[in-house]
Amino acid sequence: MASVSRLARRKDASRWPRMSSTFWAVVLLTALLVLYCGQLAAGTCEIVTLDRDSSQPRRTIARQTARCACKKGQIAGTTRARPACVDAGIVRKKQWCEMVPCLEDEGCDLLVNKSGWTCTQPGGRVKTTTVS
């Protein structure tokens, strides 16, 4: 007990070990890197999950989930068959073809009930997308 009280009286004594400034710089940079890697840049999207079901002949059902960091006035959508941030008014009005969801050589048509769109390839193959 005497050694503890003698240590507490010393002005240059510390109960915590001293760490160099390099150590604290490394800790700070590591923390910033962890925070940065978990964030998407504004206006970008990434595919989180992609499921394909080919159990029916001549038909493939694909479902994908995307994570987007859209700017103000934008919402997650599809551009050129990839997830993208699009103008929120397109989704609100359900004018899906305005976000240019099909590839360059495909034609876009709205479904009758505006629940999605179709992309028609030059060879006649049709891809139908519905919004849930």
DSSP string, 1-28: -HHHHHHHH-TT--SSPP--HHHHHHHH
Q: With a cut of 50, list the residues of the chain below it in pLDDT.
A: none
Kindly report the pTM of this predicted structure.
0.61
With respect to residue 115, please indicate whether it lies within any of the assigned structural domains: yes
Residue listed under structure tokens 């923390």: 31
What's the confidence (pLDDT) of residue 6?
56
Residue 116: which domain range?
44-130
With respect to residue 3, please indicate whether it lies within any of the assigned structural domains: no
What's the confidence (pLDDT) of residue 30?
72
With respect to residue 32, please indicate whether it lies within any of the assigned structural domains: no
Question: CA-to-CA distance for 121 and 2, rounded, in angstroms?
Answer: 87
- In contact, 48 and 65? CB cutoff 8 Å: yes
With respect to residue 59, please indicate whether it lies within any of the assigned structural domains: yes
Number of structural domains in the chain: 1
**Of 100, 53, 54, 107, nearest to 81 (Cα)?**
100
